[in-house]
């Protein structure tokens, strides 16, 4: 199984000093794409599952800037991996066409999502069976 095709953990540079921490994420430098959009998710209860979709166009980097959560990634071909987001200077890169679920949110979780595209609902696949069909008919 090639985990890099599913997702990849990233570690960002920090410029901490006696005043506190500062984490730097530059598009095309620290992550594989230019950042067109960001959104963030907070206030999701521990038993909530978010995501449950794949994107035809968008790539994402997810960073828990506060608190913790988990991201489960599935390629629709039988490969699955779980990433724990629990440090503000690490993130997970999600390429196009992977099924993702975010869950296990801590009460203080603030999940920052960087995206390679502007929002377009038309590029979302929100049905898992449809996703599996699409990724397997590519071959």
Q: State which residue, 78 or 101, has the beta carbon closest to ligand TYD.
A: 101
Query: Least separation, in Å, of the C-beta of 37 and ligand TYD?
Result: 6
Kindly provide the b/e burial profile for residues 90-126, where b requires at least 16 CB atoms within 10 angstroms of the residue's own CB.
bbbbbbebbbbbbbbbeeebbbbbbbbbeeeeeeebe
Q: Is 89 a catalytic residue?
A: no
Sheet-wide strand order for 110-115: 8-11, 90-94, 60-66, 110-115, 37-42
Q: State which residue, 22 or 38, has the beta carbon closest to ligand TYD.
A: 38
Query: Least separation, in Å, of the C-beta of 10 and ligand TYD?
Result: 20
Query: Least separation, in Å, of the C-beta of 33 and ligand TYD?
Result: 15
| Rounded-to-integer distance, Cα 65 and Cα 22, Å | 11
Footprint of ligand TYD (CB under 6 A): 37, 39, 41, 50-51, 119
Structure tokens at 92: 């997970």
Structure tokens at 78: 């039988």
Q: State which residue, 52 or 79, has the beta carbon closest to ligand TYD.
A: 52
Among the options 50, 53, 70, 77, which is catalytic?
A: 53
Residues with a catalytic annotation lie at 53
């Amino acid at each position: 199984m090639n985990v890099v095709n599913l997702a990849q953990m990233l570690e960002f540079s920090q410029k901490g000093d006696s005043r506190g921490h500062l984490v730097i994420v530059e598009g095309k430098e620290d992550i594989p794409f230019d950042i067109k959009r960001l959104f963030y998710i907070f206030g999701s209860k521990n038993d909530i599952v978010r995501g449950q979709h794949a994107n035809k166009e968008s790539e994402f980097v997810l960073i828990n800037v506060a608190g913790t959560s988990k991201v489960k990634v599935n390629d629709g071909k039988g490969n699955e991996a779980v990433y724990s987001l629990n440090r503000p200077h690490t993130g997970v890169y999600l390429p196009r066409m992977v099924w993702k679920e975010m869950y296990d949110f801590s009460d203080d979780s603030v999940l920052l999502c960087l995206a390679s595209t502007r929002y377009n609902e038309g590029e979302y696949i929100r049905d898992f069976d449809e996703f599996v069909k699409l990724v397997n008919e590519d071959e």
